[in-house]
Amino acid sequence: MEYPRGSEWRRWNLHVHNPASAGYSGTYDQVISQIKNNEASIIGINDYFTIEGYKEVVSRLGDTSDKVILPVVEMRDYIKKNLTNVEIIDFVAQNCFDTKYAGEILKEMTLGQD
């Protein structure tokens, strides 16, 4: 494979909250405007324990051929304060993603682990 231009630096912003995030006071229109006017070519839409805000942003955003939009799930252990990796993966699989993809997600996350 030929790479005529060599390496390129790209701007990423992987921490953009939205109205579905607890404590966020802005609107979806503000988030959309920020995304469209942002120099970043890859943007992560953050929510706590869900991707509902990401799905709403993507549905409202329209054409984003110049940007990659990723879901980012923030997880905080407010109750136990010491969740294991298996408990976290189980929580994510049960609560954050469409169940038809849970098996694939778990397989990718645990690949190469015993």
Is there a single domain that holds both residue 61 and residue 103?
no
pLDDT over 90 percentage in the chain: 27
Flag whether pLDDT at 17 surpasses 70: yes
Mean pLDDT across 3-30: 85
Pair 19, 62 in one domain: yes
Domain holding 93, by residue range, is 76-114
Residue 13: strand pairing partners = 43
% of residues, the chain, pLDDT over 70:
60
33 or 64, which is more confident? 33
Domain count, the chain: 2
- 26-56 pLDDT, tens digit per residue, is 999 999 999 999 899 999 998 887 788 888 9
Same domain assignment for residues 52 and 95: no
Write down the H helix ranges in 1-114. 28-37, 52-61, 85-95, 99-110
Number of Cβ atoms within 10 Å of the Cβ of 67 = 15
pLDDT-derived band at 90, boundaries 50, 70, 90: low
Examine the domain organization and report whether 16 and 69 are in the same domain. yes
